[in-house]
Chain A
Amino acid sequence: MSSKYKIRCPCGKVVHYDKQLDVWIHEDDTVCEPLASYNLEKQTLNSYKAFDILSKKPDKDDVVRIIDNLVESTPDISDLHNIVGGIILPLKAEDKLPILNPEYLAIAELFGGLLKRVFNIDIPLIKHIDMTYNRKIKQIIEIITNKQEALKKGILKEFIQLLIKISRI
């Protein structure tokens, strides 16, 4: 994988892929639950290997393809860690596409809303939002929120919040 992109685990640490072991590991060799779950269960993701996109610069099409697969397959709970890992990690990649940067999207949405409410100003902050992408995100929110058990996992709650916020843009 190109060192140009830093890939982060949901816990925030930078990860890299060890070819020999065929696992993703933290740069400091520690482990955490989401990453361990991903490494254990990654092969179960059926038709599209989400983490494959980590080997190149992730783009919007990659995310749409992952979401398409998820919508079609309606994964069971055991796959949810994969979904989370498969989407959050690419989203956290330090790429230059605003559409793939959740923090950017969140700030843009919140800041734009604040300016509107307080100062009565419309500032077009982001201009090219793909509606298909947005619709797909809504679908995945529905699927995941229907899995009540999954909500017990803190990271899923966070992920759902993230998707809800992104989908509002």
Chain B
Amino acid sequence: MKMLEEDIWYSLSHKFDLSRVTSFIEKTAERYSGKEIYKFPDYLRLVKKNYLLGGINAVLRDAILGLITRRIIFSIDPEKIEFGEIARSLYEAHSKIGLFFSFWITRLLISEELWGRFSADYLQMLSPALYYYYLSYRDKPAFLPHRLVNILVEGLSHYVHSPNDELVKNFYLGLFIREFRRELIEKLILRIKHYFNEYNNQQSNSPIMTPYDDWALRGLTYALALKALEDFRASWDLDLSRILSARFTMEVLTKTMNLLAPLSSEKLDLLMRETLEFIEALKSYSIVVPSNGANIVRISNIYGRNPQIYRKYRNRIERLIAKPKMFMVLDVLMERIIVYESAEAIKELKELTKQDSESSQRIGNLYELVRVYLGELEI
């Protein structure tokens, strides 16, 4: 078994044998099916530790692990396992697999109307599921009962640290419970306003162009993304004068676009158009957006999460902000395909196989792998 294991992971970087990979997926899934799932987190840790792969090879590795997870989940009965502990343990071993597992179990509990049988404290362990409900919000919206939203949001304290947990909770509540949205936007803004006031009092002699603050940036981004989904007319008496700088502004805009990409194409389109105009205008002051790691990740995410809008502005985005990294884009697309069978993501992956690039062979491997399992989708 060990030989097969090593052979599979190491061979990913130079040759790809589809039949061997699918056979490996089946055998591994079989090994950790049913009650054996408790050992799966250790296996994930081992793979991550022993088989360090980068770029598209890492995407391929995670896709294989995701497909193994799918097969394992098919074999379990949520009433017969401690799914809360497993979700937590998987999240610690491999966060993406943990998110995936939580999402599928939550969906299963809802469709089978089983979630009411479990205590709120226990269900809170499935909180990472919210991420995939967010990611699939636009192209594959799923039903999420309000009481369960409240429970899962409360559980975020187990996964997101203070002080960001409060902002993340407000964002998810406002996203999934529309009736609360307006109130939560205002709450977010009030918190930011309070923060600005404190900041101004403490640093009354500081220069105007101060470094942006991650907390305020995150809160403002969440408020703007929620606001974009609605048509609430608002006048926020928010004095940004103490922290407004080119860097802060760019961060707000690129972060909000990143957040909006899976939520609304129409709003992303509008924000993208205006942001690019904004960036062009700032160029006359020799202020340019840095093509740094954070912007590359955000642009790659936008591409993977909303290829249609990305393609519409591709040239300007790449000229004014940053070029996406193909492996990051593929990572998002594979995530969307494996976790919730996004037709849009599959279509984009197929498009990418037609490109004449160094990566086309590897992208082709990913597409072949997806096609094998596409026929077995049962959602």
Contacts and interface: CB of A to CB of B under 8 A. Distances in A.
Interface stretch (A19-27, A61-69, A116-124, A144-152): A116-124
A110 interface: yes
Given A103-B246, A108-B244, A114 B275 contact: yes
A44 B187 CA distance: 58
A10 to B, nearest CB: 11
B378 to A, nearest CB: 40
A98 interface: yes
B207 A107 contact: no
A121 to B, nearest CB: 5
Contacts of B208: 96, 98, 101, 104
Nearest to A161: B284
Nearest to A103: B285
Interface string A70-105: 000000000000000000000000101010011110
Contact of B282 (A110, A123, A126): A110
B270 interface: yes
Contacts of A115: 224
Tell me if A's interface is mostly helix, strand, loop or mixed. helix
B271 interface: yes
A162 interface: yes
A41 interface: no
B227 interface: yes
A120 B234 contact: yes
B234 A122 contact: yes
Interface stretch (B27-35, B108-116, B235-243, B296-304): B235-243
Contact of B240 (A125, A158, A162): A125
Interface in A18-50: none
Contact of B285 (A102, A111, A117): A102
A14 B99 CA distance: 52
Interface residues of A, number: 30
Interface in B227-271: 227-228, 231-241, 244-246, 249, 252-253, 267, 270-271
B236 A123 contact: yes
Nearest to B281: A110
B119 interface: no
B244 A119 contact: no
B244 A121 contact: no
B240 A120 contact: no
A94 B208 CA distance: 10
A101 B208 CA distance: 9
Given A118-B228, A119-B227, A127-B239, A111 B284 contact: no
B236 A121 contact: yes
B235 A121 contact: yes
Interface in B122-159: none
A106 interface: yes
* Most B Cβ at <10 Å: residue of A102, A122, A161: A122
B209 A120 contact: no
Given A114-B275, A125-B240, A126-B241, A96 B233 contact: no
A162 B235 CA distance: 28
Contacts of A127: 239, 241
A118 B285 contact: no
B106 to A, nearest CB: 31
Contacts of B267: 118
Contacts of A110: 278, 281-282
Contacts of A114: 253, 274-275, 278
A126 B235 CA distance: 14
A102 to B, nearest CB: 7
Interface of B: 205, 207-209, 224, 227-228, 231-241, 244-246, 249, 252-253, 267, 270-271, 274-275, 278, 281-282, 284-287
Given A103-B209, A108-B241, 15 more contacts: A94-B207, A96-B208, A104-B245, A107-B244, A107-B282, A107-B287, A111-B278, A114-B275, A117-B274, A119-B224, A119-B227, A120-B227, A120-B233, A121-B227, A125-B241
Interface of A: 12, 94, 96, 98, 101-104, 106-108, 110-111, 114-115, 117-127, 158, 161-162, 165
A-B pairs with lowest CB-CB distance, top 5 = A122-B235, A123-B238, A119-B227, A114-B274, A111-B249
6 contacts: A107-B244, A120-B233, A123-B236, A125-B244, A161-B284, A162-B284
